[in-house]
Amino acid sequence: MSKAAHPLAGKVALVTGAAGGMGRAYAHHLATLGADIVIADLDLGAGKRWGEVEDSVEDEINRLGRRAVSVEGDLSDREAARRAVAAAIDTFGRLDVLVNNAGGAITPAERSTATASPEEDTSRLLAANLYTALYLCQEAAPVMTRPGGSIINIATLGVFGASRTGGYAIYTAAKAAVVDLTKSLAVELGPVGIRVNAVAPGVIRTPRVVATAEQRGIATGDQDAKVPLGRLGTTEDMVGVIEFFASDLSKYVTGELLAVDGGVHHVSVL
Ligand SMILES: NC(=O)c1ccc[n+]([C@@H]2O[C@H](COP(=O)([O-])OP(=O)(O)OC[C@H]3O[C@@H](n4cnc5c(N)ncnc54)[C@H](O)[C@@H]3O)[C@@H](O)[C@H]2O)c1
């Protein structure tokens, strides 16, 4: 494998929420760059729900010529986070890249403003979006390659400003906490050579987002025109940025947050 074509050859990447959606795309892309992959997800069959995956993401990675191992569990449970990290070390003997992608705005949108959000939704959103990332970072940091490790935390466009209705308030608060954690971790782990960055996707047309567009009012046709680059995003738009942060292309970058949203967070109401 040439170093230029396969900058992650011999490396190992753990991607959370990798059974479907963007996490699956990240796992594929990191595998094409040469990495072996740990797939961690609450539900390893998640990719079948919207018809994305025929067999399993593990099989897909194997077909790309890379090794893969899968771990099922709720990563907001510290023990499951520990198992995911242990799978990397026990199976492949190392961990170079961690993508904290698990999460989502998983509670009912119609009761998602700050004042309407019931306790149970608040707990679920903090667990899925903040605790998953926090526990994975805590478990992974001591065993990641140093120097050379890279952690990428997935945030959201919502960290730059509230939605027009004030909805998704707790979801975006949880992601904002992840962005803040990214900065603290970057400072703490910089001296041992582990970089920590965050990525904020705009609306990305994953199969789930497309299937639920009308019901959630997200990714409906009229939203393309509101984006400076003229369209909502695709998983293909995301993977290059993950490559940038996972590889030496960003070797002197840490603690940063990069929006991948076609410029939409720069648009004001005027
Ligand atoms: N799709 C978008 O437009 C968009 C926009 C901004 C941010 N994001 C963020 O990007 C990430 C991926 O989004 P997606 O659209 O691909 O979502 P998705 O629902 O298609 O995939 C998320 C995956 O995470 C898994 N997951 C959820 N909670 C988990 C937990 N507690 N433990 C382990 N796995 C868990 C799910 O099973 C699922 O496979 C999420 O963090 C989401 O908040 C998505």
Q: What percent of the chain has pLDDT over 70?
A: 100
Give the C-alpha distances (Å, rounded to integers) separating 51 from 29, 55, 56, 249: 19, 10, 11, 34
Is the CB–ligand 1 distance for residue 203 below 6 Å? yes
Q: According to the model, what pLDDT value does residue 180 have?
A: 98
For the segment 108-136, the average pLDDT, to the nearest whole number, is 98
Higher-scoring residue by pLDDT: 176, 269 = 176
Determine which of 92-106, 130-144, 151-165, 216-230 has the lowest per-residue pLDDT on average. Answer: 216-230
As beta bridge partners, residue 14 has 38, 98
pTM for the model stands at 0.98
- Is 168 marked active-site? no
CA of 20 to the centre of ligand 1 (A): 8
pLDDT class of 4 with cuts at 50, 70, 90: confident
For the segment 39-55, the average pLDDT, to the nearest whole number, is 96
Q: According to the model, what pLDDT value does residue 7 have?
A: 97
Q: Angle at Cα 168 formed by Cα 178 and Cα 211, nearest 5°?
A: 105
Q: What is the pLDDT of residues 78-93, one digit of tens each?
A: 999 999 999 999 999 9
Cβ neighbours of residue 116 under 8 Å, at least 6 residues apart?
none
| CATH 3.40.50.720 for domain 12-260 | yes
* pLDDT over 80 at 141, yes or no: yes
Handedness of CA 46, 49, 52, 56 (dihedral sign): positive
Edge-to-edge strand ranges of the sheet holding 257-260: 68-72, 36-41, 12-16, 97-100, 150-154, 195-201, 257-260
How far apart (Å, rounded) are the C-alpha atoms in residues 24 and 246? 16
Query: Hey, which of 14, 15, 22 would you mutate to test ligand 1's pocket, going by the most ligand atoms within 8 Å of its Cβ?
Result: 22
User: Radius of gyration (Cα) for the chain, nearest Å?
Assistant: 18
What value does the mean pLDDT of the chain take?
Answer: 96
Contact assessment for residue 101 and residue 133, using Cβ atoms and an 8 Å cutoff: no
For the segment 61-68, the average pLDDT, to the nearest whole number, is 98
How far apart (Å, rounded) are the C-alpha atoms in residues 118 and 158? 20
